[in-house]
Chain A
Amino acid sequence: MIRYELLELLKPIITDELVVCNIGSPSQELHAIDDQPSNFYMLGTMGLCSSIGLGLAMATDKKVIAIDGDGSVLTNMGTLATIGNNHLDNYILLIVDNGSYGSTGDQPTYTGARTSLAKVAEACGCDNVVECSAADTPEAVKTALAGQKMTIIVSKCDSGNRKCPVITMNPIMIRERFMAEVAR
């Protein structure tokens, strides 16, 4: 199962929760499947999805889901230590781990080889780390949303992307409609 198919399965599960979505294909796919004011699309800035999500979760009581990728987390690996030392029960980090840099042509990342982000997250102090197949991910997200505990989900997906249009929405528009949703 590739990321696009997983995001389709998550569409009925993630409803009014706040979503911070990773740069490139992930945001383009999410935008094509289910554009919502509660989605914050990253148009640039590789690596900071989990950090933006964490900062947001510190400022709101609403549930925040950061949909990140393995390549992006590898870029900003220190984020797992910050998350592991700042447990927030309204924060879910979903790492779509397809072992590749999807937006740039599916070049392999090290998580497809010897590196386990789940183990890194645990070693960084994250208590509630779930590694699962893409097929089991919707259930894992449901459980995380129903619980009151910070959850890191490492979802093992196949490499690949669905061709979706580039997001042309103005960044200020994305941010302002998202902030209105946060404040609602």
Chain B
Amino acid sequence: MAKEIDRRIIQDLLDNGVDFATTVPCKQLAGLIEVLEETDAIKHVPCNKEDEGMGLCAGAFMGGMKPVILMQNTALGVTLNSLATLIQFYQIPLPMIISYRGEVGEPVACQVEMALHTKALLSQLHIPTYHFHNATQVEELPGILKHCQMCSKPVAVLTDASFWGSAK
């Protein structure tokens, strides 16, 4: 069931011209995906794997759209080559709204394993990264989306369990 925070994030995307979204689900992203499905102004194309999604986003961008990808941090590994050789090499602005599994509040031990590598991998790739740990931090999202377009880079927004748990 979508919450206020989900509607706010989708509205921020709309306000910043995002009109294409690809997603691989995560429990924490379920509300966002639900709102996306109801939002006609954003073309939503679910993908099967996150690197495939980055290909869709690159194509949509070259066709004049503004893409976003919603994904889980556990998938970061499969996107490294696509980030380096497609999104970064061709300078494609791509906001990545990432469910940051494996942080405090996580019920599944295995999720912690990729959480441990998430920031290190993003840092290694020199991807601007913002960690949303508290619901009030959502206020930064419009600025982050503008920053992403300004610098034509992939930008990661990590949203952890505390963020989603503290949100209405």
Contacts and interface: CB of A to CB of B under 8 A. Distances in A.
Contact of B45 (A45, A86, A183): A86
A175 B52 CA distance: 19
B52 to A, nearest CB: 5
Given A45-B81, A82-B56, A55 B63 contact: yes
Given A44-B89, A45-B86, A172-B90, A51 B64 contact: no
Residues of B in contact with A, size category: 20 to 34
Interface string B55-97: 1111111111101000000000000011011100111100000
Contacts of B86: 42, 44-45, 48, 52
Interface stretch (A57-65, A94-102, A133-141, A142-150): A57-65
A40 to B, nearest CB: 7
A47 B48 CA distance: 13
A76 interface: yes
A95 to B, nearest CB: 15
Interface string A28-67: 0000000000001011111111111111111110000000
A94 B91 CA distance: 27
B59 A76 contact: no
A58 B62 contact: no
A59 B20 contact: yes
Contacts of B43: 58
Contacts of B54: 48, 51
Given A44-B85, A55-B55, A59-B20, A82 B45 contact: yes
B35 interface: no
A78 B52 contact: yes
B86 to A, nearest CB: 4
A81 B52 CA distance: 11
A81 B48 contact: yes
A169 B64 CA distance: 22
